[in-house]
């Protein structure tokens, strides 16, 4: 590759670019991924399995984040970049297939797919940017930190139980944390703020899209549960689940569509806000996974006595979503959404009384809190981001 060819593989700096159809296509695999993670929780709500599922979600999210950054920095219309995105999509699909037994017999499959994604990305990007040392150094730094955690991932494959959970937890924490500090690497230093290209419009759209994907998984869960046996109880749960999805949609877009507008996220050199945007959306998506889990639990028996674990899921999902929106608003706008803080406190405060209600009643109460929060947002003062 010559110097004159390099601009073809890179986006123009600061170019306002909307996602391509390929990027939208890539996101579809996350409907399946989120569904598998939710089902893993439905099958086992023990503390250990919740922790295991959280680790798998973090690994899957890290793949999505790196792919979003990949198509933000490199030209997604080039065949070589498109082929790479499709390979990553295939690897993500394999990871999703392995989710139910990733902490059992399929641990090797999950890690092999995760490794394959990283190796394919770096095998393409490092040689393709050899005439642009700053860009190549960024890819080398990412690869270096992949090697740092490789031993932990592989070590986990050859252990089981708590040991695998600890090793993989440390590995995924290092994967995400190293990006936060710019992947510091011996002899290469770290990626400085000015050397990363974040296109505000592009990443804003990518995060909107992945949240829509998460909402789509909620619709899939509600619809699948109703289709299994079309009766009055399932219809009622599906209706409440649909209302939950609509409320999440409205709460997300009422405020965040303003924060993610091109005029507010046009800066291309704010790396920490760029990474924080991804992390705060992770919290929101984790909330939707819990809500999906709750729907699957309730739809089979909406009138039974409610276990404490179910209450934690049914209230924890909305609370996590609201927390994610609060964190995002603080990162981008520098302020706190007090209406949502109050809603989280309300969910925590009324939680101890929820064993008195059947599961469907708890879903309705959670929706009522979300509805009141939306009303407070709509009727409250509309403030623009500061700074």
Domain boundaries, the chain: 3-195, 200-379
Instruction: Give residue 76's pLDDT band: very low, low, confident or very high (50, 70, 90).
Output: confident
Res 385: pLDDT: 52
**pTM (2 decimals)?**
0.91
| DSSP classification of residue 14 | T
Q: What is the pLDDT of residues 260-313, one digit of tens each?
A: 555 555 443 344 455 778 899 999 999 999 999 999 999 999 999 999 999 999
Summarize the confidence of residues 66-77 as an average pLDDT.
88
C-alpha to C-alpha distance for 47 and 382, rounded to whole angstroms: 40
First to last CA, the chain: 41
Instruction: Give residue 1's pLDDT band: very low, low, confident or very high (50, 70, 90).
Output: very low
Taking CA atoms, 173 is separated from 86, 153, 282, in Å, by 26, 12, 14
| DSSP classification of residue 306 | P
Say if CB 329 and CB 283 are below 8 A apart: no
C-alpha to C-alpha distance for 289 and 204, rounded to whole angstroms: 21
Res 191: pLDDT: 73
Say if CB 111 and CB 158 are below 8 A apart: no
- Backbone phi, then psi, for 63, in 5-degree steps? -60, -45
Taking CA atoms, 152 is separated from 149, 156, 157, 163, 164, in Å, by 5, 6, 9, 10, 9
Say if CB 278 and CB 65 are below 8 A apart: yes
The closest of 300, 316, 299 to 354, measured between CA atoms, is 316
Q: Give the pair of three-digit tokens for residue 252.
A: 């997300």
| DSSP classification of residue 191 | -
| DSSP classification of residue 9 | H
The closest of 132, 138, 128, 117 to 185, measured between CA atoms, is 138
- Summary mean pLDDT of the chain: 88
Q: Which residue has the tokens 């997604």?
A: 76
């Amino acid at each position: 590759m010559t110097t004159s060819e390099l601009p073809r593989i890179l986006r123009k700096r600061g170019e306002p670019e909307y996602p391509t159809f390929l990027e939208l296509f890539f996101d579809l695999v996350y409907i399946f991924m989120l569904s598998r993670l939710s089902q893993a929780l439905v099958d086992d709500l023990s503390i250990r399995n919740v922790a295991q599922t959280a680790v798998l979600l973090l690994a899957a999210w890290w793949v999505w984040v790196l792919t979003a950054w990949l198509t933000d920095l490199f030209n997604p219309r080039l065949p070589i970049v498109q082929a790479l995105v499709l390979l990553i999509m295939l690897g993500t699909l394999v990871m999703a297939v392995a989710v139910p037994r990733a902490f059992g017999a399929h641990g090797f499959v999950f890690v092999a797919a995760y490794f394959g994604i990283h190796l394919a990305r770096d095998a393409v990007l490092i040689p393709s940017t050899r005439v642009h040392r700053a860009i190549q150094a960024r890819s080398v730094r990412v690869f270096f930190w992949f090697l740092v955690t490789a031993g932990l991932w592989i070590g986990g494959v050859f252990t089981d139980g708590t040991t695998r959970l600890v090793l993989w937890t440390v590995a995924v924490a290092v994967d995400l944390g190293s990006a936060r500090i710019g992947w510091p690497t011996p002899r290469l230093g770290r990626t400085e703020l000015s050397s990363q290209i974040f296109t505000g419009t592009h990443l804003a759209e990518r995060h909107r899209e992945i949240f829509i994907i998460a909402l789509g998984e909620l619709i899939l869960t509600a619809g699948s549960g109703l289709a299994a046996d079309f009766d009055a109880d399932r219809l009622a749960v599906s209706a409440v689940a649909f209302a939950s999805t609509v409320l999440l949609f409205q709460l997300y877009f009422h405020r965040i569509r303003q924060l993610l507008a091109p005029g507010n996220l046009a800066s291309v050199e704010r790396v920490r806000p760029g990474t924080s945007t991804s992390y705060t959306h992770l919290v929101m998506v984790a909330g939707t996974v819990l809500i999906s889990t709750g729907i699957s639990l309730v739809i089979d028996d909406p009138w039974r006595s409610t276990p404490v674990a179910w209450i934690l899921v049914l209230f924890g999902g909305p609370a996590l979503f609201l927390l994610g929106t609060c964190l995002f608003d603080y990162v981008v706008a520098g302020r706190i959404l007090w209406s949502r803080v109050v809603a989280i406190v309300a969910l925590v405060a009324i939680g101890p009384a929820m064993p008195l209600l059947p599961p469907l009643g708890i879903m309705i109460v959670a929706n009522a809190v979300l509805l009141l929060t939306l009303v407070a947002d709509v009727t409250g003062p509309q403030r623009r981001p500061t700074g």
